[in-house]
């Protein structure tokens, strides 16, 4: 089973037409995922850079596999519809801690 560290690498295809030929360019895309443990069991997976890309798995490993499938389908759908594929190349990620009356 892939680990959380291996869940980041995906190979996607982008295609374009030139002189009546279709060229397919393979590219490795990386996306952050967030796994949230659910009270009833299992894990919900969110992909922050892909709005609405959410999936679920009973175990961490299954959740990661489901996320890979969801991301692949999401990106392929964007390509088929001629939409821009979001990338995380220039993303800066940090965690903030705040005090609150919760």
pLDDT digits over 38-75, tens only?
999 999 999 999 999 999 999 999 999 999 999 999 99
pLDDT tens digits along 6-47 = 444 454 444 444 454 555 677 889 999 999 999 999 999 999
Match 């949230």 to its residue by tokens.
Answer: 36
- Domain locations in the chain? 6-80
Instruction: Report the C-alpha gap between 26 and 92 in whole angstroms.
Output: 25
**pTM for the full predicted model:** 0.70
Element (H, E) at 30: strand 21-30
Cα 11 to Cα 18, 38, 40, 46, 89: the distances in Å are 22, 29, 33, 19, 15
**Per CATH, is 6-80 categorized as 1.25.10?**
no
């Amino acid at each position: 089973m892939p680990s959380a560290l291996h869940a980041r690498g995906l190979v996607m295809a982008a295609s374009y037409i030139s002189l009546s030929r279709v060229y397919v360019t393979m590219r490795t895309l990386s996306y952050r995922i967030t796994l949230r443990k659910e009270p009833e069991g299992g894990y919900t997976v969110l992909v922050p850079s892909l709005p609405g890309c959410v999936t679920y798995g009973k175990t961490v490993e299954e959740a990661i596999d489901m996320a890979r499938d969801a991301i692949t389908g999401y990106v392929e759908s964007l390509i088929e519809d001629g939409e821009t594929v979001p990338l995380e190349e220039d993303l800066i990620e940090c965690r903030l801690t705040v005090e609150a009356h919760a």
